[in-house]
Amino acid sequence: MKKKMNLAIVALTIGVLSSFGSVSASAKAKVNYYRNVKDANYVVLHKKTPAYTTATLKYRRGTLKFWQDVRVTHIANVTKANGHRAFYYRIRTKSGKTGWVWRGWLGKVISTPTATTREGKMGSNSSTTQKTVKHFSNAEYRQAFLTGLNAERTKRGIAPLTEDSQLDQLADVRAPELIDNFSHYDASDNVLFEKHAQELGITTAVAENIAYMGDSDGGKAGSDEIVGGNSAAYYAKSNLHEFIYNDADSNWGHRDALLNPQYTIIGISSAYVVGQDGDAKQYGVNNLG
């Protein structure tokens, strides 16, 4: 059976992106330039995401729903009222409505050579309609991701990363949060990994990458496989491949963070759930220091 896979990835580094977020309706931005892009499928990664009528961000048109499917047609580079520069995407909903949305609230849906992009909704992320697949091996995911990442670093002459127990602890907190909020931020625009690091007394976390993959063919799990017929190592390798090689739309933020020679330690975790409709969803996170 042909499987339908989706992947959305987002990166955040403290001091680079943490100041970007939604803009009040009274603020106005200066547009530096526009760029047309080939229509691409995206999903909304934040609850009540604001959409604006124009890239000047003067008037708010309304809000988008969490996991809503949209298409991106244009990109605008703007200087906001607070002086920060940011990218905003012009989106079109399935009902034909348009608006401008900060790119940090959107994740690109990527089809792979062995998969196709889903045509329908991604389904509810409510914890009442999903269950965790307990035989998903997080240890296997961690090992495969770290091994693959260090191979990428080594062939570029960059020192390998060391798995850090504190950053693993932080990643373990972040992974299940992604199920209901695939974002670096909470509803108050706090950076979640920074918030949890402070709560845990961790001072080494400076960057985070998150990834999502969806599999609409649940299937049955074998002794060494997760629902969907793919091992935890498969998802680790898939997440890593997208971070390193398919990251142009994120301006190579994921790749640059993972291959940054200044980072020496990493924490890795993943969560896996299956909805009542059989759709499987895998979420990956890594925190760097």
pLDDT digits (tens, 9 = 90+) for 38-52: 777 877 766 678 899
Backbone angles phi, psi at 244, to 5 degrees: -85, -40
pLDDT at 10: 52
More confident residue, 227 or 261: 261
SS3 content of the chain, % helix, strand, coil (to 5): 25, 35, 40
Work out the pLDDT band at 65, boundaries 50, 70, 90. confident
Instruction: Assign domain 30-108 one CATH number from 3.30.70.1450, 3.90.550.10, 2.60.40.420, 2.30.30.40.
Output: 2.30.30.40
How far is Cα 235 from Cα 107, in angstroms, rounded to an integer? 17
Work out the pLDDT band at 231, boundaries 50, 70, 90. confident
pLDDT at 188: 79
How far is Cα 81 from Cα 14, in angstroms, rounded to an integer? 21
Of 59-68, 180-189, 219-228, least confident by mean pLDDT is: 219-228
Residue pointed to by tokens 């269950």: 131
Residue 263 has pLDDT above 60, yes or no: yes
Of 114-128, 220-234, 272-286, least confident by mean pLDDT is: 114-128
Work out the pLDDT band at 233, boundaries 50, 70, 90. confident
How far is Cα 271 from Cα 185, in angstroms, rounded to an integer? 18
Average pLDDT value for the chain: 75
Digit-coded pLDDT (tens) for 151-196: 999 999 999 999 999 999 999 999 989 888 888 888 777 889 999 9
Of 10-19, 81-90, 121-130, 148-157, least confident by mean pLDDT is: 121-130
Of 92-101, 189-198, 228-237, least confident by mean pLDDT is: 228-237
pLDDT at 36: 86
How far is Cα 130 from Cα 126, in angstroms, rounded to an integer? 7
249, 9 contact by CB (below 8 A): no
In this prediction the pTM is: 0.58
With a pLDDT cut of 70, the percent of the chain lying above it is 72
More confident residue, 235 or 280: 235
Residue 110 has pLDDT above 70, yes or no: no
C-alpha 10 chain-centroid distance: 3
pLDDT at 209: 92
In the chain, CATH 2.30.30.40 sits at 30-108
Work out the pLDDT band at 12, boundaries 50, 70, 90. low
In the chain, CATH 3.40.33.10 sits at 138-217+229-288
Single-letter code of the amino acid located at 204: T
Q: Which CATH superfamily is domain 138-217+229-288 in?
A: CAP (3.40.33.10)
Backbone angles phi, psi at 83, to 5 degrees: 95, -10
pLDDT at 159: 97
